[in-house]
Amino acid sequence: MNIIKKFSLGVLISLFLTISANADKIKIGTEGAYPPWNSKDASGKLIGFEVELAWTLCRYIGQQCEIVEQDWDGMIPALIMRKFDAIMAGMSITAERQKAINFSQGYADEVASLAVMKGSDLEGISTSEGINLTKKTGTVKKDLKTLTSALAGKTVCTQTATIHQNFLESGDVGKVNVRTYKTQDEVNLDLASGRCDVALAAAVAFTDYAEKSGKPVVLVGPTFSGGAFGNGVGVGIRKDDTELLKAFNKAIDKARKNGDISRIATKWFGFDASM
């Protein structure tokens, strides 16, 4: 009996110690499946632009950090339920998300694009290079019209709960047949298999996939920004965590000034995606 008592006491103490050791660590949630923003290497270790940036920001905040993995579609609920304290997962700052959580200032931004497999009839669509949906000028409207007729009857694939899905369902390109996937990897697989006629995601997600898989994936149409595509990517933080929000904003300021964000972004994206 005595042994059992001692043993349970030991377990309790060690439990308590682990809990208190974790208490002052900032837990950062990321997806680990959206290269080059965040992904995993062959051994399962989290890598990518945001993982490296997270360590840098934590150093500026002066607190220990832990990066944890979370499926994309449960990212915001997990933050609200305190599974972690901050989101760094290529999450764009949008009005819809801001109803549920706060965002730090943006740290990086890059454009979205449609992609098809080589040989698709969509390869021929002619639009301007890039459109900003915040200001719906004549050219933007004309391009959206071109896209509306080009996408009619096509299966457009995208990751669930993303700005890309929001855009496709916004009516800007008419009523499209949207198919949503849990991860970008699955979107890529079905684009390559031909189940998807066309896919929408961050342009780098496709170029990264084309490069790594050797599959003939090509970007088509304009690049998208603004409007449904949000205002850059920031750190997601709970509404009541104002102290942490301030700390992250300050750390981003410092990292930007010291050139850390540009340097890390250039390393992972191949161009300076910082903002």
Partner 1 sequence: MDFELMINSFPKLLNAAVITLKLLSVSLIVGLFIGLLFAILRLNKNIFINKFAYGYSYVFRGTPLLVQIFIIYFGLGQIEYLRSTFLWVILKEPYWCAIIAFALNTGAYTSEILRSAFQTIQPGIIEAGKSLGISNKIIFYKIQIPIAIRQSLPAYGNEIILMMKGTSLASTVTIMDLTGVAKYIISTTFKPIEVFIVAGGIYLFMTFIIHNVIKYLEKKYSFSQ
Tell me which stretch binds partner 1 (CB under 8 A): 52-60, 140-148, 176-184, 262-270. Answer: 176-184
CB of 48 to partner 1, least distance (A): 23
CB of 189 to partner 1, least distance (A): 6
CB of 190 to partner 1, least distance (A): 7
Q: Is the Cβ–Cβ distance between 73 and 161 less than 8 Å?
A: yes
Residue with Cβ nearer partner 1 (222 or 236): 236
Residue in the block written with tokens 């309790």 = 12
CB of 246 to partner 1, least distance (A): 23
- Contact pattern for partner 1 over residues 52 through 91, marking x by CB under 8 A: ---------------------xx-xx--x-----------
Task: Answer yes or no whether residue 241 interacts with partner 1 by CB under 8 A.
Answer: no
Helix or strand run (H / E) with residue 181: strand 177-181
The residues pairing with 103 across neighbouring beta strands, listed in sequence order, are: 236
Listing DSSP states for 216-251 in one string gives -EEEEEEEEESGGG-S-B--EE-TT-HHHHHHHHHH
- Contact pattern for partner 1 over residues 129 through 168, marking x by CB under 8 A: ----------------------------x--xx---x---
Q: Which residue intervals of the chain are DSSP H helices?
A: 2-23, 49-61, 75-80, 95-98, 138-151, 163-169, 184-193, 203-213, 242-257, 260-269
Q: Is the Cβ–Cβ distance between 74 and 29 less than 8 Å?
A: no
Return the residues of window 177-206 that contact partner 1 according to CB under 8 A.
179-182, 186, 189-190, 192-195
Residue 230 CB: number of other CB atoms within 10 A?
A: 24
Residue with Cβ nearer partner 1 (62 or 214): 214
Residue ranges binding partner 1 (CB under 8 A) = 73-74, 76-77, 80, 96, 100-101, 157, 160-161, 165, 179-182, 186, 189-190, 192-195
